[in-house]
Structure 1
Amino acid sequence: MNFFEHQDRARRKTKQLVLLLALAVVALIAITTFAAAALVYLSGNAEPQAYEHAHTFWSGTLHALSVQSFLWIALAVTSVVFLGSLFRFMQLGSGGRAIAEAMGGRLLLGQTTDPDERKILNVVEEMAIASGTPVPPVYLMEDDAINAFAAGYRPQDAVIGITRGCIHQLSRDELQGVIAHEFSHIFHGDMRLNMRLVALLYGILVIGLIGEFLLRSSRASSLVRSSRDKSPGGIMLVGLGLLIIGYTGTFFGNLIKAAVSRQREFLADASAVQFTRNPDGIAGALKKIGASSEGSTLHNEHAAEFSHMYFSQGVRLFFNMMATHPPLDERIKRIQPRWNGQLETALHGANTNTNKGSKTFGDETAGFAHAATPNTASMTINSGATATLVDVGDINGGIDINTTLQQIAQPTTAQLSYAQTCLNQIAPELKTASQDAFSARGIIFGLLLDAHAEQRNRQLALLSEHLTTSELQTINPIIHASALAAIHLRLPLIELSITALKQLSEAQQQDFLSCLNVLIQADQKVSLMEWAMYRIVLHNIRREQQPLRTRSLLEMHEDCQLLMSLLAYTGARHQTEAENAFAQASSALPFKQFTLLARTSIKLDVMDAALERLNQLKPLQKPQLLKAMSLCVMHDGKLHTAEAELFRALADGLDCPIPPQLQALPITTR
């Protein structure tokens, strides 16, 4: 099952989940109605026909309430569940961060000198760069158990949570297996399903919480009221009924949660093996959980609420049918069919050596990344001034389209090694700067500086109008170091910086984006890479809802025509090349009338809106679009580094993480 099939499966599972929980609410309404009818019947206040025609308690209860009363009860139960779920959705509005903080997690900062903390940050950074995604924030839970989770509504607000016991007791290979497992949940749409489960189950639980509140209040009031006042007893009875009903609903809701969760854990395990090509890593982590005295049980008051999110079972259970994870031995057997059943003892201070003799990828010749051969297509970015499209890149390479599509969210060991090499090649001052929100801005500023000294000085002069003198002096070395970074390090630098940039307040983010626009528009020309970098930053730091994936490719004729025209002109030296590239793209799309647009009609602000709409495609429709994009940029059998990175940037806007294409990158040995 590939990335898009996983996404489609998650979408269908969400529909099934909503249906199951709707049935649970219907059952709650039925139970509540019956309980209310029984109470009314026994109190003697039922409808007259209940006593006239009742031969048994059951028949009397069935006639105790009017249709109007039933409708009011149904409305009340539905409203409580809906408002409770809505309240929880709003509480979790910040995405994965809200879950991590509720679990007592502490955000790990890149400047940490703790060996365990540095080890996990390195593993997460490597996995993100190898996958072609921004590095998610990592939260540490001070718990001796071996466990972890990924949480968020979409990859852009995802976080990784991990226990101290996990990073302290597992080897680097085992940690890599655990993190690969969590990344699979991020890529495959499991996180959003998990977040919805939390909110919907909380809505059902609210009925029980109301009952619990009524019980407490009735006990308190009974101590101060007269013995003749029977109202506390009635309130207590109602509270007890709601408590039983609410927790019964929660019990069945948790059964649904467990059933939804278990199968996905097998898929995440399999994906982790695919990511790392090392079944011993994740299998070793599972064995150490089985051998550890702490196991994977988390010591937090919210552990049960988020139990379906963890790497391994996070709460102790009395009934196996409530387990959100398959048994450890079954998971290990699927990964290692010949496993002899022996568990490994968790060794404290596990080996953290990361050198595996992987091939090293060298730097390009130092220099500014932007080429200077302008074309003449009139373009705009956002609502700013008109600018000119500029082509960049001159490194030849090759790439297989089918391999590219198969590698989406499936990085290879070569790409993991490449990610390690990239991290080693990034200048230490830039690595440090990427971990601080203030300094990370300087990295992005530097990536947008022009190759020509005169234009570069103009950009810096304009930037000085938006920053204080002290700010500019502080980040000026970072800006210049970033501008000198090799072309293949540009996206890794952005991916490293995203986590820090997310820490900016909304006002600070707006100021930062304004500065980017100033740098981009300084020469009245916008290179495609400038626009693509801006798109990546905006797409990953902006707080927005994940789009509904409901649209068909056939509905997107104009948007596809604009996107393919843009790509066709990217590497074309003349009109004929652009027409050939566009024709290649057309062959993979289902449109009968599909015409290359004129350069002058391509506007980047229109392209922004087109990408937003294309991101609403159904998951199984996106491979066809990506294949057409690949054919377009590869029409001449070559892929320039800049084209490969532009392709990845556009795919990022479609929420399709493309790993680095190693064939298109310069390789050197040291």
Structure 2
Amino acid sequence: MAAMDFFEHQAVAKRNTRLLVILFGLAVICLLTLTGLLVAAFSGGLGQIENGQQAPEFYLHWDIVLAVTGMVLSAISLAVLYKWVVLKGGGKVVAESLGGRRLSPDSSDPVERKILNVVEEMAIAANMPVPPVYLLDNEEGINAFAAGYSPQDAVIGITRGSVVNLTRTQLQGVVAHEIAHILNGDMRLNIRIIAILNGILFISHAGYLLMRTGMYSRRNDKNPLPLLGIGLLIIGSIGVLFGNIIKAAVSRQREYLADASAVQFTRDPDGIGGALEQIGALSSGSQVASKNADEAAHLFFGQAISKAMSIFATHPPLKDRIKRIRPNWDGKFRANPRPQLQAELESEGANAAGSQQERSRQRMVETITTAATIGAAFEQPASANEQELIGEARNQEGAEALVLAMALSDNDEIRAAQLQEISRQHTAQISARAAADFEKLKPFELEKRLAFVERAIPALKTLSQHEAYALLNTLHQVVEADQQTSLYEWCLTQIVTRYVRAEFEPNRRVKRVDVRRQSDTEFTLSVLAWYGHDNDNDALQAFNLGAAVFGQRLQPFRQQPYSFAELGDCLERINTWSVTDKAKLVQAWITCVRSDGEINVVEQKLLLTLCACIGEPLPTLEL
């Protein structure tokens, strides 16, 4: 099975966005024209009287038509802008609008623990920090969604019906499907669809308001408002009709792609195939009862609302999706045995820490055998220290202490000053926890410690904005205490800063800066080549292999140590590149680190950090 090309899928998503904007633009132009003509007709603009007789020709008062068109265009634009501002908060706003409740990463509830463990496993297998999880408590149907603008602010939402009615393997398939949406770049497109449809819907709302207002007018017999309202309602409904058709067509193709990606993630077609089969087997299906389900229907794993005609369906038919994944399926929908589901829940809740984490690790290794991160981070049985640190990462205060502990110096004098600063900026308790976590981290190599950061992200995202920014400020001060920044410290601060900041600035615009395409490529490749190889000749060979993939004659930067401030500036500029250019650069990076036939932990974590800085996923690192 071919490897997933997330960059190609992102490029397709961007092309779909442009096509979507064009089609919606044409729809808006038609709506504006019809609305202008309608209002002109009701304002006496469809003719004139000459000498008491009806003129033989009809005339339009174009000034009225243009004025009405301008007003309607302004109103639609304001409606789109309003929805865009509402959704500016990112994935968490969408999840909350659908009735989602954010789960605490250290929850011990069996239902919550089951989905938290699965999301954690699948995210780590996908080479990305763990996203926050929202549970839709009141939804009995089997459904899920991913929402946000980028992997940095993405959230996973899932219905309670999914957790209690799916086996663990099936739940992995559903979560893998949603992670594929994150990595394929579908989320920003989905949010734009919600905003644009809200603008088109405005005309229908305006028509309904005029109709209701006219009906209650005292001069109802001579009042044209009801008829005008009905006309606007019809025009608006036509716009919504075509808007939903466009939305559904775009969504269906992305669902097929996410299904295929989920199979590649899990290497198990029975997982996602079984989940789709359960939707057909249960009476609740994939229905979502939230009042906002209609506008967000294209986000979900399954058809969230009933559609009488397939042309309006945001998802392909269940049988078609299952047949693509499991060609030998016999067409029968069979529900999971209840005793099996109950046994799984009891297993999840038996021990939320300790041995449960070991079982979680073992399931991950068995389920996703080819992900490079699994081999690097989970090849040995969990030690007592690791179990305690994983538990610390899932707790809000513990996650703060753990991240700060990772930045502490091995020098006793410097570390004492760092702990004192932590105590001053936060609390003595966090300082003490950081000191204790530092001791537990000692058995791990520096680069392997970064795996704990990926687990700590959901807990850090639960901090208030003041607390989060205070933590980031303290982290930078702790790192700078010894007046030098190592590669490990730079990776630590970059991952924490960018993912935590995305909780409060999810749609943060990157300022366009001067493009230094060649020099930025040369510098980033040089950092990878010389940090990943022990001798100059091997590093130069790795650099040249990466340069050949990028397709330009490049010269390496040989001065060392490399400036991490300069590396950060390079990545800010690269973040403004097109998806196609980023794809070439990431492939050049990967070729560079693969040059010696292995990808060590340093190279893996540096690659993960570089990709995080440019807002792109790290592809599977298979040799």
TM-score (normalizing by structure 1)? 0.82
1:626 is aligned to 586
1:155 is aligned to 151
Q: Are the aligned partners of 2:154 and 2:182 in contact in 1 as well (CA < 8 Å)?
A: yes
- Matched position secondary structure for 1:160: strand
2:480 is aligned to 521
- Matched position secondary structure for 1:93: helix
CA distance in 2, matches of 1:552, 1:465: 38
CA distance in 1, matches of 2:499, 2:50: 60
2:39 is aligned to 36
Q: Are the aligned partners of 2:79 and 2:199 in contact in 1 as well (CA < 8 Å)?
A: yes
CA distance in 2, matches of 1:209, 1:416: 51
1:365 is aligned to none
CA distance in 1, matches of 2:233, 2:381: 54
Q: CA deviation at 1:536?
A: 1.0
1:433 is aligned to 392
CA distance in 1, matches of 2:420, 2:361: 45
In the TM superposition, 1:45-64 aligns within 5 A as 52-54=55-57, 60=58, 63-64=59-60
Letter in 1 for 2:614: L
Q: Deviations over 1:388-437 (max 9, x none)?
A: xxxxxxxxxxxxxxxxxxxxxx9755558657778955634333332333
CA distance in 1, matches of 2:17, 2:182: 15
Q: CA deviation at 1:659?
A: 6.4
1:564 is aligned to 525
Q: Are the aligned partners of 1:128 and 1:135 in contact in 2 as well (CA < 8 Å)?
A: yes
- Matched position secondary structure for 1:156: coil
Cα 1:12–1:169 shift into 2, 3 Å:
same
> Does residue 123 of structure 2 align to residue 128 of structure 1?
yes
Gaps spanning 5+ residues in structure 2: where?
349-358
Q: CA deviation at 1:148?
A: 0.9
Q: Deviations over 1:200-226 (max 9, x none)?
A: 000111121122223333344x2xx4x
Q: CA deviation at 1:191?
A: 1.1
Letter in 2 for 1:453: D
Q: Are the aligned partners of 2:111 and 2:163 in contact in 1 as well (CA < 8 Å)?
A: yes
Q: Deviations over 1:559-603 (max 9, x none)?
A: 122223333442465666655554444333333363425236x43
Q: CA deviation at 1:230?
A: 6.1
> Does residue 235 of structure 2 align to residue 240 of structure 1?
no
Q: Are the aligned partners of 1:550 and 1:617 in contact in 2 as well (CA < 8 Å)?
A: no
Q: Are the aligned partners of 1:147 and 1:162 in contact in 2 as well (CA < 8 Å)?
A: yes
- Matched position secondary structure for 1:162: strand
In the TM superposition, 1:285-434 aligns within 5 A as 285-348=275-338, 350=341, 352=344, 413=370, 424=382, 427-434=386-393
> Does residue 162 of structure 2 align to residue 202 of structure 1?
no
Q: Deviations over 1:302-322 (max 9, x none)?
A: 111111111111111222211
Cα 1:577–1:460 shift into 2, 3 Å:
farther
Gaps spanning 5+ residues in structure 1: where?
55-59, 362-409, 664-670
CA distance in 1, matches of 2:48, 2:443: 84
Cα 1:423–1:320 shift into 2, 3 Å:
farther
Q: Deviations over 1:245-273 (max 9, x none)?
A: 22221111111111111111111111111
CA distance in 2, matches of 1:4, 1:136: 20
Cα 1:46–1:523 shift into 2, 3 Å:
farther
Letter in 1 for 2:517: M
2:7 is aligned to 4
Cα 1:286–1:470 shift into 2, 3 Å:
closer
Letter in 1 for 2:259: D
> Is 251-260 or 626-635 further displaced after alignment?
626-635
2:458 is aligned to 499
- Matched position secondary structure for 1:155: coil
Q: CA deviation at 1:75?
A: 1.6
TM-score (normalizing by structure 2)? 0.87
Q: CA deviation at 1:491?
A: 2.9
In the TM superposition, 1:631-642 aligns within 5 A as 631-634=591-594, 639-642=599-602
> Does residue 106 of structure 2 align to residue 111 of structure 1?
yes
2:354 is aligned to none
Cα 1:518–1:46 shift into 2, 3 Å:
farther
> Does residue 548 of structure 2 align to residue 587 of structure 1?
yes
Cα 1:638–1:347 shift into 2, 3 Å:
closer
CA distance in 2, matches of 1:46, 1:101: 58
Cα 1:326–1:580 shift into 2, 3 Å:
closer
2:92 is aligned to 97
- Matched position secondary structure for 2:66: helix
1:537 is aligned to 496
Q: CA deviation at 1:548?
A: 8.5
Q: CA deviation at 1:299?
A: 1.1
Cα 1:39–1:537 shift into 2, 3 Å:
same
- Matched position secondary structure for 2:494: helix
2:355 is aligned to none
Q: Are the aligned partners of 2:446 and 2:488 in contact in 1 as well (CA < 8 Å)?
A: no
- Matched position secondary structure for 1:139: strand
2:188 is aligned to 192
1:164 is aligned to 160
Cα 1:157–1:457 shift into 2, 3 Å:
same
Q: Are the aligned partners of 1:215 and 1:235 in contact in 2 as well (CA < 8 Å)?
A: yes
1:74 is aligned to 69
- Matched position secondary structure for 2:88: coil
Q: CA deviation at 1:637?
A: 5.1
Q: Are the aligned partners of 1:3 and 1:188 in contact in 2 as well (CA < 8 Å)?
A: yes
Letter in 2 for 1:285: A
- Matched position secondary structure for 2:550: coil
Cα 1:212–1:631 shift into 2, 3 Å:
same
Letter in 2 for 1:184: A
CA distance in 1, matches of 2:194, 2:65: 28
> Does residue 443 of structure 2 align to residue 447 of structure 1?
no
> Is 174-183 or 478-487 further displaced after alignment?
478-487
Cα 1:657–1:438 shift into 2, 3 Å:
same
Q: CA deviation at 1:87?
A: 0.3
Q: Across the two proteins, how many residue pairs are aligned to each other?
A: 600
- Matched position secondary structure for 1:317: coil
1:23 is aligned to 26
Q: CA deviation at 1:546?
A: 5.7
Cα 1:564–1:551 shift into 2, 3 Å:
farther
CA distance in 1, matches of 2:321, 2:389: 41
Q: Are the aligned partners of 2:103 and 2:133 in contact in 1 as well (CA < 8 Å)?
A: yes
Q: CA deviation at 1:44?
A: 6.3
Q: Are the aligned partners of 1:564 and 1:629 in contact in 2 as well (CA < 8 Å)?
A: yes
Q: Are the aligned partners of 1:648 and 1:658 in contact in 2 as well (CA < 8 Å)?
A: yes
Q: CA deviation at 1:155?
A: 1.2
In the TM superposition, 1:202-241 aligns within 5 A as 202-220=198-216, 222=217, 225=218, 227=219, 233-241=223-231
Cα 1:474–1:47 shift into 2, 3 Å:
farther
Q: Deviations over 1:313-363 (max 9, x none)?
A: 1111222211111111111111111211111124445153696995999xx
Q: Are the aligned partners of 2:32 and 2:72 in contact in 1 as well (CA < 8 Å)?
A: yes
- Matched position secondary structure for 1:125: helix
CA distance in 1, matches of 2:594, 2:47: 81
- Give the alignment partner of residue 609 of structure 1, picking from 544, 569, 593: 569
Q: Are the aligned partners of 1:549 and 1:617 in contact in 2 as well (CA < 8 Å)?
A: no
> Is 632-641 or 542-551 further displaced after alignment?
542-551
